[in-house]
């Protein structure tokens, strides 16, 4: 499983022999591989005018390109905002219409579907997969991180999930400072703002709901990660890239969120008491009936959570007592 930014052929269809050789050496002559582009064919074609584009078939003969358009940027931010506004709707009929109109669940479905496609190419076809969009720091990371959760049981442990986030989101350069500048309830809208990381956390929650025994961590960890991505006393999600973090000496001057989470007195709050190691691939259903609203996140300030917390604590007590 590989990830990158888009190639840069531009309008003149420039070639890069080094890139062609790199991808060519990964695939034997009798093999095939897949490039999953998280943009629509039209968006990829338009990117040529700005110097970007896609891999020409003639230059990458053993790589087949598949387009799976995933929204990012302003459309995703607007979808998030509409859903947040809909959550305060008192009318049942209008609530359902506004929920559908937000299209948030459609984004969740599309992300999981694309991740499943990448996982199927790897697991069932035995093929190499390269995922990219434009810069390779948003929907690209969404797909590669989810595909690894689906395929690799190590990524579904608490420690493995932290390493996945560090590798696929933080070190890979997801611009947290730009994307998570304000909350959805803010009237101001940053041009670079988009809840891509929240979409990832929502997809992970969908996996945990469909496979309640297969993830070592629970919903509380996902909520904590969201909160710290937007406002945190720790430096883990600061800045937009590794380069910025080095220049700002983030690791030397701040504390790590992971170090705090992994303290024994804190860690137990985030563990799933029903967890049982599952060595198998977990294939989520993406049927409309299977994708549900993440109520623990979107409704956590609207409905009381006391009883849910009590039920979780009782579950932990019963499991530990048994």
Tokens 């060595």 sit on residue:
279
Bridge partners (DSSP) listed for residue 131? 3, 36
pLDDT at site 187: 56
Question: Could you tell me the pTM of the whole model?
Answer: 0.92
| DSSP-H helix ranges across 136-263 | 139-151, 158-165, 176-179, 196-210, 219-230, 242-247, 250-253, 257-261
The predicted pLDDT at position 311 comes to 72
Asked whether 170 and 257 are in contact (CB, 8 A), the reply is: no
Which SS3 state, helix, strand or coil, does residue 63 take?
strand
Task: Give the mean pLDDT per block of 10 residues along the chain (322 residues).
Answer: 95 93 92 96 93 93 95 91 88 88 97 98 96 95 98 98 97 93 62 92 98 96 95 92 94 94 94 95 96 93 70 74 62
What's the confidence (pLDDT) of residue 305? 63
d(CA 13, CA 17): 13
Rounded Cα–Cα distance for residues 12 and 8 (Å): 10
């Amino acid at each position: 499983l590989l990830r990158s930014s888009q190639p840069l052929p531009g309008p003149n269809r420039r070639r890069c022999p080094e890139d062609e050789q790199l991808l060519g050496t990964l695939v034997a002559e009798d093999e095939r591989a897949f490039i999953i582009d998280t943009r629509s064919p039209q968006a990829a074609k338009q990117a040529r005018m700005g110097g970007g584009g896609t891999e020409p078939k003639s230059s990458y003969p053993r790589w087949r390109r598949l387009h799976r358009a995933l929204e990012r940027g302003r459309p995703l931010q607007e979808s998030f905002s509409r859903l947040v506004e809909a959550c305060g709707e008192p009318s049942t009929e209008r609530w359902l219409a506004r929920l559908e109109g937000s299209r948030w669940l459609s984004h969740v479905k599309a992300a999981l579907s694309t991740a499943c496609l990448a996982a199927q190419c790897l697991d069932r076809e035995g093929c190499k997969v390269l995922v990219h969009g434009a810069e390779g720091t948003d929907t690209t990371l969404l797909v590669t991180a989810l595909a690894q959760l689906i395929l690799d049981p190590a990524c579904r442990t608490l420690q493995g999930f932290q390493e996945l986030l560090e590798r696929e989101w933080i070190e890979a350069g997801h611009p947290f400072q730009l994307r998570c500048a304000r909350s959805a309830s803010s009237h101001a809208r940053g041009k670079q703002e988009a809840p891509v990381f929240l979409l990832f956390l929502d997809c992970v929650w969908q996996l945990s709901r469909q496979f309640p025994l297969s993830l070592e961590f629970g919903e509380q960890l996902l909520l904590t990660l969201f909160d710290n991505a937007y406002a945190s006393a720790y430096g883990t999600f600061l800045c937009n890239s590794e380069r910025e973090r080095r220049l700002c000496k983030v690791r030397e001057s701040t504390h790590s969120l992971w170090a705090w989470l992994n303290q024994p007195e804190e860690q137990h709050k985030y563990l799933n008491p029903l967890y049982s190691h599952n060595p198998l691939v977990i294939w989520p259903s993406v049927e409309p009936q299977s994708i549900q609203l993440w109520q623990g996140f979107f409704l956590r300030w609207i409905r009381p959570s006391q009883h849910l917390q009590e039920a979780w604590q009782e579950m932990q007590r019963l499991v530990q007592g048994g």
